[in-house]
Each structure stands twice: as structure tokens, then as C-alpha cells.
Amino acid sequence: MVPFLLKSFVSGLLIAAASTLAKRYPGVGALVASLPLVSVLGMMWLWLEKPDAANMAAHAGATFWYVLPSLPMFLLIPALLRHGVGFWPALAAGCALTITLYTGMT
């Protein structure tokens, strides 16, 4: 239970840091959010629990391919917001697009 809580705490701190930075410095917050910190932390946690090079290689390769269908969301949301669509509908549309693309990818 302690390892799970530690992982949750560290991962939550990164999300909190990105959102806090974004309030004052949107570009810096976006940079922090765009860093593959979650992927790197996930790989670190996975390696500490199961140090298997073949498993890690498969995980890292799959992560690359699953990042691709999420990228269009980051184009759709700002386009919708700039055209007067509210945040929640724009976010929902972005998530729906990502789910559709993930489905197509798998």
C-alpha cells in the first residue's frame, strides 16, 4: 500500500505543478504538461517492480504508438475554444476524438 501511495503522491505533485504554473505562465505550464513525465515515471515504477528489459521495451514502444492518437485532441480543443465553443464541450469533443482514434489504433 505504501508504494502505491508514494507513486500517487509523486505523480499528483507533477500534475499540481503543471496546473499551478499554467495559471500564471500558460506556456510554461503547457511545457511541463507536455513533458513525458508520466511515461518516464511509469517506466521507473514498472522497472522498480519488474526489471525486465523485454517488458520495458514493449511498454515504451506501445507508449509511442498510443501517444499518436492523442495528439489531434490538442489541436481540436483550442480550435473549438477560439470559435466560441465552451470549455466543457470542447474538452468532451477532444476526448471523444481521442477515444475514436484510440479505437481505430487498437
| Tens-place pLDDT, residues 89-99 | 999 999 999 99
AA letter at 5: L
Classify burial at 34, counting beta carbons within 10 Å of its beta carbon; exposed 0-12, middle 13-18, buried 19 or more. exposed
Single pTM value for the model: 0.74
Report pLDDT for 22.
86
Please count the other Cβ atoms lying within 10 Å of the Cβ belonging to residue 48. 10
For the chain, the domains span 1-51
Mean pLDDT computed over every residue of the chain: 90
